Structure 1
Amino acid sequence: MPRPTAGTAGTTGKDRKLAQTYRRFAEVDAAKISPLYERIALALSESDDALGAIETLPARKRHPALVLAALHNLALTGHAQPLATAYTAAAAASRHTTPPGPAPTSAPTDASAPSDASARTDAIARTDATAPARADALGQADAVVRADAAANAAIGTLVGMTEAVVDVVARRKVRANVAGNHAVLYPAVAEVARRVGASSVGLIDVGCSAGFNLNVDRVGITYGNGQSLGDPSSPVQSSAAVVGDLPLPMQAMPEVVARIGVDLEPIDTTDADEARWLRACLPPDQPERIARLERELELAAMAPPFLMQDEAVEVLPDALARVPVDALPVAITTWALSDLVLESRLRFLQRLDEAATERPIAWVSVEGVGVAPAIPTFGDRHASGHSIIGLAVFNHSTLHAEAVGRCWLRGQMLAWLTES
């Protein structure tokens, strides 16, 4: 079977290090999510021409995920049509394959094969039963061929359009995991509003990225224990497994009267270029993730958030002030505080406290163990592999902070650990 063009043996030490980076990405990172990107990253690691093109990028812009996203962006914009065609073919082929199973058993063909009609019918039936396996084997082979063709097209695009790739990576960063964390946030926001007695809330998503968290009230959510929340007719439907004996709180989300995103580099999803970049950050052979993103974009377009570009600690007072006075401001952080040093995290807490002189201020946090200041940890160790769901209410210089649950896999599994 043909393989993408590989490099020669005469690579430099620097090239070898870059090649190792791309091979490791293929074997460790891409292998978990995208067979297509696994193949392309491996091909790039084996091509001297591709490695030479990557070497022209700024050192901090050579990460495989960013280069692959830049190539995908060129395909989506129509500037790299051969690559776009190869990606479409590879993605289509991957959708029609399943993991290989046991080798099919052939019907007897030697001189001892049954000669009576009934036995011949049975033999034909056994032969026909192998047809799906043979078809799937052919599909697997076709998927590999298509992936190799896409890898060759990626190398050709990278080498032939190096300046265009440089232009993309110079002004972009990878936007991974931008989907809303609705399954975790919905019960937490609704519960903190119930505790305060709020009939409306203003959501402030700190580290908002694309701001999809701000549509948490407009999605439908099903949980593995049979519970459901939100709008079953929403274009965005989320799900999560639930562990433990306690049910999730079932309060409906109060009216959301403000949607405010705070980020150093917020993404305006109403901008066609920004929305396309989000698509480019997903591998072409991940149809479920792509479809989820399209639905999130559709929902966001119906009620675009107000975006504030600045350091969270600096702009937080202004963001809180934008929430109408008769609504409860709810700051949301989902794996955002780990980007801040401890001093900044404590300052973030102080900002919330300072804003609570005239009305309550709430904070819903989903952060690694010990990352969110003042939120208890159930005694869990740091870097335990899960996150703590925390609720905090600031009111007239008093703070009530509680850990209400744990979650894993960025909210795909959660345990509610307090009585509502």
Structure 2
Amino acid sequence: MSDIANTDLLRVLAPRVLAALVRRYGHFDTAEDAVQEALLAAATRWPTAGIPDDPQAWLITVGSRKLTDLLRAEQARRRREEQVARWALPQDWLTPPADRGPADSDDTLILLFLCCHPALTPSSQVALTLRAVGGLTTAEIARAFLVPEATMTKRIGRAKKAIGDSGGAFAAPSSSKRDARWAAVLHVLYLIFTEGYGATSGPRLHRVELSAEAIRLTRLVHRLLPEDDEVTGLLALMLLTDARRPARTGRGGELIAMEDQDRALWQSEAISEGVALITASLPRGVPGPYQLQAAIAAVHDEAPTYADTDWAQIMLLYRRLLRLVDNPVIALNHAVAVSMATGPHAGLALVEKLADDHRLAADHRLSAVRAHLLERIGDHEAAHAAYLRAAQQATNLPQRRYLVTRAARVRGPAMPHE
């Protein structure tokens, strides 16, 4: 097996092995270190000795031994060597349990719950999910979020310590807490995707490694819970949105607005899969926020041209979505849909109502949408000022350049001095 195939296999197995160790022994942070040592051992030995018949069991066995060693060392330092016996490797460990398949599935979900623990901030939940479940290295996560590796190491370390200090066992949350924790898991996957599809800062519009990882993890959850309509909706939303990515930037990395995109570059297979997923899930019950957003994305993707977009349907879907969630960005998108369906003056009135929402105070999107609508009604001077204000607020370089270009275009060519 090639080195690339080896790497892919190890990446898939890493979260399963970590989940198995944490479930059996606890000590999230120490278990994670043990898994890394087991992965290193596999990367060193497998290319020459060959892949074991059961690579997951091999990694769990090696990881368990490493964990035992680490715990012994830790407890020796704390002068509690008498507790080492509690962490001894069970004699029957090499015999795979009959229900290992379902247990793996349960463990993966529990690991996601653990990474999205309420004691953690959203940024820590995202980082820990990418590290523990996604299998990304700390350096890869740091590069994706444009922070020093040392900073990300501390963030992940604090997250693992917070989980340890919380005293929570490796088990599914109680029924009374499960809905909130499950919502946090889906939100974290959504945050990872949105940061990958539209980076909040930096020189690139996309961070493909993040959006691809979000799709991979959501596919994993969907395989485990195929009947969960919001998981299906989230996966459909990601696929339908990411399908437009190839047309979203030009050769120089510049942003291309949807109305100017070459739709022949949109990924038809991803669109077909996303449409099939959302079409199957919508009739099964009352749609949730991710299903409604996926339905909106499907309307966009199925339109042959921008002019043919069914804006009236999108407006109604956003209106229904706003009844479920209090989100100013969704309200802003609803204003855009209203402007396209009924006219720019109606959309601009809704945008002006959002101007006092403190959650959008530093968000360039409010000024950008306002500028676009002012341009459509012919107030070019006000549109120019709004575009420049949006450009000043934007922290992503391609977005800033796009807004500056729009500002220059709306003002028109400079008049020569008399």
**What is the TM-score when the length of structure 1 is the normalising length?**
0.22
More helix by share: 2
Name which structure has the greater RCO, CA cutoff 8 Å, separation 6+: 1
Bigger radius of gyration among the two:
1
